[in-house]
Amino acid sequence: MGIYHITYTPELKEACLYFGERCNFSCHGCISKYHSEDCHLDGGMKQSKNRTLSREEVISYIKPLFLKRTVFLGLEPTVDTDFLPLAKTIKKQFSTYNILITNGYKYIEDRTIDEVCVSIKAISRKTFKDFTGKDNPEQVLNNFKRYTSIPNLEVRAESIFIPGYIDKDEIEKIARFISSVDSLIPYRIDGYMPYLEKDNFRKPVKSEMEEAKKISEKYLKNVSILHYGVKVKHRVKRIY
């Protein structure tokens, strides 16, 4: 089991379970690698990690909580063999609405999962290869389409906006692709957060994020942005 961090949002009755043992991508500035704790916690993100928990330990930590939603995220939940068994246990014991946040490279289909958010890194083959270390963005795009064909599964998408790298042109390509599947699919654009003082790339300013949003809205009906400086809406508690 690779869960090293658990947080809880009382207003939403939502627990976030962070997987951190491995990933099938090697993305530049990976937020789960370099900012390993929940960014909504008071005091900001930290880079340290706790030891990983067993399935029984995870259940013991979340059992006292009033749960309606469970989010599985981190490096990449789908490559952890305990992900689905844990999700099934949580669904059975707590009847939660289960949300998977994934890079989409590995396809998972199970009724245990109620919602999937696919992080589409890039459309252009060269950019995708440079950013993730993988050759075939089509695998993610095809899996995204497969998710949208599953009855009663909620699907959304997100991307990282990196000025001068995964910039407005690439975001537009991603938005155009999503619209070719369904223009009503929610799409969130996240502003890049540098992981080192001497990072090759910088965080985008608000005006750049708003321009990326405007471009995406040429194709999609439901676009949002998230960037440094946006106020946290709900209080988040550290559970582990």
pLDDT, position 3: 94
- pLDDT per residue, tens digit, the chain (240 aa), is 789 999 999 999 999 999 988 899 999 888 777 777 877 787 655 556 788 999 999 999 999 999 999 999 999 999 999 999 999 999 999 999 999 999 999 999 999 999 999 999 999 999 999 999 999 999 999 999 999 999 999 999 999 999 999 999 999 999 999 999 999 999 999 999 887 667 889 999 999 999 999 999 999 999 999 976 666 678 899 999
- In angstroms, the CA 22 to CA 129 distance is 18
Q: Domains of the chain (ranges plus CATH)?
A: 3-238 (3.20.20.70)
pLDDT, position 46: 59
pLDDT, position 5: 94
Angle at 20 between CA 1 and CA 60, to 5 degrees: 45
pLDDT, position 21: 80
Q: E-strand spans in the chain? A: 3-9, 14-19, 69-74, 97-102, 115-119, 154-161, 187-191, 223-226, 237-238
What size, in residues, is the chain?
240
pLDDT, position 45: 55
Q: Give Cβ neighbours of residue 95 (< 8 Å, ≥ 6 apart).
A: none
The contacts found for 135-138 with CB under 8 angstroms, 24 or more apart, are none
